[in-house]
Structure 1
Amino acid sequence: MLDKDGDVERLLGINMDMTEVKQLNEALYQEKERLHITLDSIGEAVVCIDVDMNVTFMNPVAEKMSGWQQEHAIGVPLLTVLRITFGDNGPLMENIYSADMSRSAIEQDVVLHCRNGGRYDIHYSITPLSTLDGGNIGSVLVIQDVTESRKMLRQLSYSASHDALTHLANRVSFESHLKEILLTVRDTRQHHALVFIDLDRFKAVNDSAGHAAGDALLRELAALMLSMLRSSDMLARLGGDEFGLLLPDCNIDSARFISTRIVNAINEYRFTWEDREHPIGASAGITLINNANRLAADVMSQADIACYASKNNGRGRVTVYEAQQEQAHSEREVTPQDEQWRIIKDNPLLMIARGVASPRIPETCGFWLISLRLWTSDGEIMEEQAFRAGLTDPELSHALDRRVFQTFFQHAASTVASKGVSIALPLSAAGLSRATFIDELLEQLERSPLPPRLLHLVIPAYVLMQESDKAIPAIQILRQAGCRIVLSQVNRDLALFDCLSAHMADYLLLDSELCASLHGNLMDEMLVSIIQSHAQRLGVRTIAGPVQMPLIMDALSGIGIDLIYGDVIADAQPLDLLLNTSYFAIN
């Protein structure tokens, strides 16, 4: 301060404590360093952009995936640095916000092209950056490399629609394609042809030379048939030694020519295995698809009947479907159907029990799966699955269900109740769809000493997709009564989970095919893992089997499968023997 003469009279000073400011600056610097280290270390690519969509920052992963160094990319438009297309060879993305962000990471078909020629399947998210007052200052783009996930998804999709042995389309894919063709018939007025091809003497090759020879033969014949078809034709392996062929926009004469050419080629084919030649042949049946004949069940049946006519008339030939063949086919079935009724009503019925337990505690069985063995009038034993597959009338399945439950409640229910053991009995789609039968079953259950929670009902899962209007109400009634529901035959068709909701079932029983080679098949392991994830989401427990080796048990345990059955758990044995000789904890 100065006096009146301008001389310094006194000095004033202000001292400020800068400790907090210094600490804040130090903390800000440390936080910035941590942020940079984090961004440099994470596995995702991170790109920052300003309001004009120009790059302001890239982490090392972003540099690697784009092929741009940060120093060269700063100030450059984002979509110049990131060359993104829809699909491998699709159009360039012109707006970074144009991807369908509602889809999952592996469903978005978005590809990032690196400057060095590399490609990455990606999923990305965008987060805006704002000031304290809400003003926009740019965005942060986080990019995930999902190349391996999408590759696995494509492989799973292929596996679900193709036969693993021949790499032809499988039955599910074939029937789906057939339905698509049938939907177009009315509008296009085109004619198509459906052909069934059945190999002759294939079983002899399998029996004499072994399954490896049979597999090799199927692969060779699949390649042979494919080489004789148009690109628009569809050849599928329907199962075993049966093939289906769809010939779009094809009249009956052309279909006969193509089919005859294939059959003749197979009849003349020389298959050699271990220096021994095995004769092989084929028979085929054709039906025409047109506006007057466009029901899937009808055309499949007609092609099957025509194929049978070829076999019945000497094999090695091609037959076009005619109505009188169906009459002959029906007449041929009269005797077997009478025999089927006798087997169901009069012949012995044996219930076989298989223990179900956790792969982590295999010594303790949670419940017992029941399968059936039946006897023909000639004294031959038939397994339940084969017998049910050959039933010619839904009434037969219904009658078999009635006998199974009557036998169980009359002879086993009391002992099961006293021992506190849970039993899972098979119930067919035909039985489930009969409201009167469901009422009968619940009446028997109410009259018996068996607590409903000890009765598990094994129902084929396909009823939820094909007969949901009848199946779902029946399942709900049974669950409300206290019974447990086991949905069986859960296979590669993941469409089941579009129909399945929580509290609709207690267990999912995986198809045995999925477990057969699980320890050596990455695709099956991945598929089982996906099924397990869906089941866990729905609160449903999973069952897999039959498990014959500890190696497969360990693989299933690693995936998270809840329960397994098979030789590693307990030997299959008659239910009567199990109940009379085993000790159970009362649950």
Structure 2
Amino acid sequence: MSNDGQSFNLDQLQSLLKKKDKRLEAMHEASKVLLSLLGHTKNELQLMQQGIEALAILLQARYGAISILDSSGEQAHFLHTGIDEALVKRIGHPPQGLGLLGIVVKENQVIRLDDMQQDARSIGFPEHHPLMKTILAAPISMNNKTYGRVYLCDKLDGELFSNDDEKFITTFANTLALVNFNLHISRRRKQIEKDLRLAKKAMEHTQEGVMMIDSRHIIRSVNRSFTSITGYSKQQVIGQSMEMLAVNIVGEKFLYDSLWCALESNGHWKGELNQRRSNGEVFPVWAVFDSVGSAGGESEQYVCVFRDITEEKKETQRIEYLAHHDPLTKLPNRTLFEDRLEQLFLSAKRYEKCFALMFIDLDLFKIVNDTMGHNIGDFLLREVANRMSSCIRSCDTISRVGGDEFTVLLSNINDCSDAGMIAQKILVSLSIPFCVNNHEIRISASIGIAMYPEHGRTYEELLKCADAAMYHSKESGNIYNFYSEVLGQEVNAQLEREEQLYSALERCELSVAYQPKIDINSLHIVGVKVLLRWHNSLLGFVQPSDFIPLAEQTGLIVPIGKWMLNHVFEQCLVWKEKGLPIASVTIPLSSRQFYDPDLLDMVSQALAASRLSAEFIEFEITKKTAILEVDKASRQLDDLKKRGIRVIVENSIEEIDQLGSHSAISADALKINATELQDITGAEKTLSSAESLIAKAHNLKIRIVAEGVENVDQLLFLRACQCDEILGNFFSRPIGAVEFEQLLIKDQRANSSFVREN
């Protein structure tokens, strides 16, 4: 009896068994056909197309498809059967491999469903794909690598997919995986063979020399470039020791020994070697050695790739020469001169020798260069260099350090008379007229000489002394002069100030003076300008004009400026806590301070420490500073304004009419200096002009500050011009913190009285 309760007689049962046997026989035959197809088809896509068509016919499926993935897991090929091309176009794209089809690949498992609608995983099929009820899907995989998937949908007779169907599609998928694997191996083998052919071809055509060497250092093969570089033919070197190329010197033999030790220990070496060509010529090569493992895994074969670097070394030497020599005169440049001077310092100190440094400046050369042209000027410089070079010894050094400036190092001299003789010799050689394009050109020189150790023990000291002596020579008539005390008074004073300035902060010698800024209408204090002062125990009171440029030159202005900023903020905080707040403090900045990349961070730290706001600060710079590096200045001004910090730029009153540069527009205020105030005082005709110019600044929302007000006439004039703020000795000279505090108290009381009266 069947499962549904129907009974069968013997004839019916025999008929059913025969049908089943015939179907199994048909499946077996179809399987043989499929396997034959899979085993002999060469085209991969043709294989898959014919395979899915045969499989669908065999298992009586309405639809079938094979999906092959690429190395990243994305679908690379999709072949199908049971759907005509019109429907394919309407569907638009193949299934995306989500849901059920994704599980087949991700979990490497066979899926058989009798009713897809009952399974929530039945997603990923295109919108216009024919409706499906049953599905049988299997992964195409082998050795834990999945190549894709194959699936069938809905049998034509309406029956469900059976266990036999599942076994068959699994066998088909596995066979397809094996074919894909074999195809992959075949392609890989062909690619390796192709790569080997290309490598051999590249070896023959590369410009680098290549040789294969065995473990006994015997050359086994070489390429074409090897023969062209070395001059040896293949027959001359194959079977010979690689050492036949080596240069027979001790150092090179040691290098080759090191090379083989490195190859035996880590299988790699690279570096510069000297080799010998067939004609005996020695030449440099850059070589790279690598070991090539034998079949047994031992490094018994080596490959060497090398190139001739003769021209590279020549170019390197040329670049090195240009880096240390003046291209016009071929003399050593400043870099090489300073290096040789450093060596001379060490030698003279060790052996207690003296030497001389000459500073030579050509007289009237600029006139010759400007009037006769740069070609004549260049020719003249070359001739001057040749003549001066002929006057010195081989142990001496002459260099060109500027346009028409030269320096000479005289080593191993007994005393200053030796230097004087050479200086005189140079002057005599230059006194002979130069013949240029049928013209006689007469030129002379001024020479200053400084002696080591008498006049200095550093490059800077000697150069300053020689420079001072040279200028004295120029003033006294084109002769040579030695540095002396008389000539060096200013140099010594400068050096003394520099030495003392380095420790001024440590010795607490610096102080700050305060000068009030006055509102021109109310005549009350609206701010303060701070100024740096220096009183040294040895030098006494040093003028700002004498030490501030020195601080700028040496870079000391940066730490001094930081100290001043913190000191001023601390003092202003004290006044604020006493009920004497100041609206703003103006701090002058030098160029070095203004362009210091750490300026903003330094200000932020000082403000944080003093609990003052950024609007409290107003930095003052000169116009020269603002235009020194225009783009950088613009960025710095913008950054300061973003932080809320104001900037005042020193301008002349005439330059206000030219407002338009970024530095001017970015400034919050412009300052007019005292000299201009004296020039405009009493000139009635300038009043309307000054009013107009200041009004222009006001239209740009820029305040005008006048500095150096000395009398009431200047005050009245500036008030008539509608100037905003003033400061000068008419109100108060720069004073100390205690005096300024009293001035603040007095101004506050006067202001309070004014408020009560009004």
Mapping 1:483-562, distance limit 5 Å: none
What secondary structure sits across from 1:43 in the alignment? coil
Residue equivalent to 2:754? none
Query: Of 383, 386, 393, which residue of structure 1 is paired with 2:550?
Result: 393
C-alpha distance in structure 1 between counterparts of 2:279 and 2:313, whole Å: 22
The question of whether the paired residues in 1 share the 8 Å contact of 2:363 and 2:443 is answered with yes
Paired position in structure 1 for 2:387: 224
The aligned residue for residue 54 of structure 1 is 218
Q: CA deviation at 1:35?
A: 3.3
Shift of 1:137: 1.0
Q: Which amino acid aligns with 2:235?
A: E
Q: CA deviation at 1:437?
A: 9.8
- Pair 1:116 & 2:279 matched: yes
The residue that corresponds to 2:426 in the other structure is: 262
Once the two structures are TM-superposed, the CA of residue 438 in structure 1 deviates from its matched residue by 7.0
Distance 1:157 1:141 in 2: 30
Seen in structure 2, the aligned counterparts of structure 1 residues 196 and 430 have a Cα distance that, compared at 3 Å, is: farther
**Map of 1:96 onto structure 2:** 256
Distance 1:222 1:85 in 2: 43
CA shift for structure 1 position 152 = 2.5
1:313 to 461, 467, 476: 476
Selected match of 1:324 from 471, 474, 486:
486
Equivalent pair of 2:354/2:412 in contact (CA under 8 Å): yes
Q: Determine the structure 2 residue equivalent to 1:352.
A: none
**Deviating more after overlay: 287-296 vs 224-233:** 287-296
Residues 272 and 287, structure 2, Cα contact 8 Å, conserved in 1: no
Alpha-carbon distance between aligned partners in 2 of 1:245 and 1:304, rounded to the nearest angstrom = 12
Query: Which of 128, 137, 161 is equivalent to 2:291?
Result: 128
Partner of 1:574: 661
Do the aligned partners of 2:448 and 2:467 also contact (CA within 8 Å) in 1? yes
CA 201–295 in structure 1, closer or farther in 2 if over 3 Å, else same: same
Counterpart check, 1:172 vs 2:335: yes
The alpha carbon displacement at 1:150 in A equals 2.7
Q: 2 CA distance for matches of 1:228 and 1:34?
A: 64
Whole-angstrom distance in 1 between the partners of 2:384 and 2:350: 35
Counterpart in the other structure of 1:535: none
Q: 1:84, 1:429 → 2: CA distance?
A: 60
Amino acid at match of 1:45: G
The answer to which structure has the higher helix fraction is 2
Q: 1:185·1:294 contact (CA, 8 Å) conserved in 2?
A: no
Distance in 2, matches of 1:291 and 1:322, equals 10
Indicate if the aligned counterparts of 2:472 and 2:487 stay in contact, CA closer than 8 A.
yes
Structure 1 CA distance, aligned partners of 2:432 and 2:216?
A: 69
DSSP 3-state at the match of 1:393: helix
* C-alpha distance in structure 2 between counterparts of 1:27 and 1:109, whole Å: 35
Tell me if structure 2 keeps the 8 A contact 1:398–1:430: no
Work out the CA distance in 1 between the residues paired with 2:606 and 2:276.
67
Deviations 1:115-147 (A, max 9, x none): 235564321111112224432313111102333
Please state whether the residue corresponding to 1:324 is helix, strand or coil.
coil
Q: What amino acid maps onto 1:257 in structure 2? A: M
Q: Does 1:447 align with 2:604?
A: no
**Is residue 428 of structure 1 aligned with residue 583 of structure 2?**
no
Secondary structure of the equivalent of 1:249? strand
2:349 alignment partner in structure 1? 186
Tell me if the contact between 2:455 and 2:461 (Cα under 8 Å) persists in the aligned partners: no
Query: What is the aligned partner in structure 1 of residue 93 from structure 2?
Result: none
Superposed CA offset, 1:85-124 (max 9, x none): 89xxx964454354799xxxxx966443322355643211
Three-state SS of the structure 1 residue aligned to 2:487 is helix
Amino acid at match of 1:195: M
| Structural mapping, 1:36-435, within 5 Å | 36-80=200-244, 82-84=245-247, 92-93=252-253, 95-96=255-256, 98=258, 110-116=273-279, 120-251=283-414, 252-266=416-430, 268-290=431-453, 293-315=456-478, 317-327=479-489, 393-395=550-552, 427-428=591-592, 432=596
Mapped partners of 1:145, 1:448: distance in 2: 67
Report what 1:35 is aligned to: 199
Alpha-carbon distance change, 449 to 78 in structure 1, aligned in 2, over 3 angstroms: farther
TM-score normalised by the chain length of structure 1: 0.52
The one-letter amino acid of 1:96's match is Y
Larger RCO: Structure 1 or Structure 2 (Cα < 8 Å, ≥ 6 residues apart)? 1
Q: Is the 8 A contact 2:593 2:599 kept in 1?
A: no
Q: Give secondary structure in 1 for the equivalent of 2:488.
A: helix
Say which SS state the counterpart of residue 116 (structure 1) adopts. coil
Q: Structure 1 residues 93 and 271 mapped into 2: Cα distance closer, same or farther (>3 Å)? A: same
Which amino acid counterpart does residue 75 of structure 1 have in structure 2? G
Q: Percent identity?
A: 25
> 2:200 aligns to what SS in structure 1?
helix
Tell me the CA shift for residue 440 of structure 1: 4.5
Q: Is the 8 A contact 1:191 1:250 kept in 2?
A: yes
Amino acid in structure 2 at the alignment position of 1:393: L
Q: Distance in 2 between matches of 1:430 and 1:179?
A: 34
- Partner of 2:212, secondary structure, is strand
Q: Which runs of 5+ in 2 are unaligned?
A: 1-181, 263-269, 496-547, 566-588, 618-624, 629-634, 641-659, 668-758
Shift of 1:207: 2.3
Measured in 2, the distance between the counterparts of 1:68 and 1:128 equals 24
Separation in 1, partners of 2:375, 2:594: 37
User: How far 1:173 sits from its partner (Å)?
Assistant: 1.5
Query: Does the Cα contact within 8 Å between 1:111 and 1:120 map onto a contact in 2?
Result: yes
Listed one character per residue, the Cα deviations across residues 15-71 of structure 1 (whole Å, up to 9, x for unaligned) are xxxx99999999887665443212102221111111111111111111111111112
CA contact (8 A) 2:465 2:491 kept: no
Whether the aligned pair in 1 keeps the contact of 2:247 and 2:282 (CA below 8 Å) is: no
CA distance in 2, matches of 1:257, 1:99: 56
Q: Check 1:38–1:331 CA distance in 2 against 1; reply closer, same or farther (3 A cut).
A: closer
**Is this contact kept in 1: 2:231–2:279, CA < 8 A?**
yes
CA drift of 1:395 comes to 4.3
CA distance 1:92–1:232, change in 2 (3 Å): same
Q: CA distance change for structure 1 residues 85 and 237 in 2, over 3 Å: closer, same or farther?
A: farther
Superimposed CA distance per residue, residues 272-321 of structure 1 (whole angstroms, 9 cap, x where no aligned partner): 44443332101111122249942221111121122122112222x11122
Do the aligned residues in 2 keep the contact of 1:162 with 1:169 (CA within 8 Å)?
yes
Please list the CA deviations of residues 220-240 of structure 1 after superposition, one character each: whole Å capped at 9, or x if unmatched: 100111122222211100101
**1:349-394, CA deviations, whole angstroms, 9 ceiling, x for partnerless residues?**
xxxxxxxxxxxxxxxxxxxxxxxxxxxxxxxxxxxxxxxxxx9623
Give the Cα separation in 2 of the matches to 1:159 and 1:285: 28
Secondary structure (helix, strand or coil) at the match of 1:286 reads strand
Q: Are the aligned partners of 1:206 and 1:213 in contact in 2 as well (CA < 8 Å)?
A: yes
Give CA deviations for 1:329-357 in whole Å, capped at 9, x if unaligned.
67899xxxxxxxxxxxxxxxxxxxxxxxx
Cα distance between partner residues in 2 of 1:179 and 1:447: 48
Amino acid at match of 2:207: G
Inter-partner Cα distance in structure 2 for 1:430 and 1:285: 37
